[in-house]
Amino acid sequence: MNIERLLQNLRVLVHAHGITNEIRIRHVLARTSLHILAGLAGCFGLLMLDIGVFFALAGQFGQVQAALIIGVVNLVVAGVIFVISTRLTPGRELALAKEIQDMALAVVVQDAKDLQGSVSAVVHHPFDAALTATLGHLTGILVKQLRPHEKPHSGS
């Protein structure tokens, strides 16, 4: 077991972690952009539609009932647009990036165990043994820090 391989695997893990985060950020930006677009469409498009429908309904139902009907329809349209935007998924690329990240993490963990075993076999002095144990613990801490922290999926 050599340290170059461990470092290479750590670089792959960090790179996969970065790709995963980039995909998540792009997904959030796309969803937010659609929310903003839905809001703008609701403001500009429905304003003109509301004015036309208001005048058409005001003659039949009166001004108050016409305004209520238009308000309810506007809320339904906004709700439909919002539901559509929350159903967006990042797609296959996020699953692939997470798979690569998990594989890299497994390789790094195995390399760290191999390195710890190699160093432990060579060490005969108590100070060196303490150093080996510390190296193993530090590697474990590093791996835990690099592991993605999953948040509970809230349906969005």
> What's the pLDDT tens digit per position in 33-84?
998 988 888 788 778 888 888 888 898 999 889 888 888 888 898 899 889 8
Give the other-Cβ count within 10 Å of 111's Cβ. 20
Q: How do residues 85-109 score in pLDDT, each as one tens digit?
A: 888 877 787 788 888 878 877 887 8
Question: What distance in Å separates the CA atoms of residue 82 and residue 37, rounded to the nearest whole number?
Answer: 10
- pLDDT reading at 11 higher than 50: yes
- pLDDT reading at 120 higher than 80: no
User: What 3-state DSSP class applies to 153?
Assistant: coil
Q: How do residues 134-154 score in pLDDT, each as one tens digit?
A: 777 777 777 777 766 655 555
Residue 137, judged by CB atoms within 10 A of its CB (0-12, 13-18, 19+), counts as exposed
pLDDT at residue 29 in the model: 92
Q: Which residues of 85-108 are buried (b: 16+ CB within 10 A; e: fewer)?
A: beeeebeeebeebbebbeebbebb
pLDDT at residue 153 in the model: 53
Chain-centre distance for alpha carbon 149: 10
The answer to whether 46 touches 90, Cβ cutoff 8 Å, is no
Comparing 156 with 51, which gets the higher pLDDT? Answer: 51
Q: Which residues of 29-49 are buried (b: 16+ CB within 10 A; e: fewer)?
A: eebeebeeebeeebeeebeee
User: 156 falls in which pLDDT band (50, 70, 90)?
Assistant: very low
Backbone angles phi, psi at 9, to 5 degrees: -65, -35
Chain-centre distance for alpha carbon 142: 22
Question: What distance in Å separates the CA atoms of residue 119 and residue 125, rounded to the nearest whole number?
Answer: 12
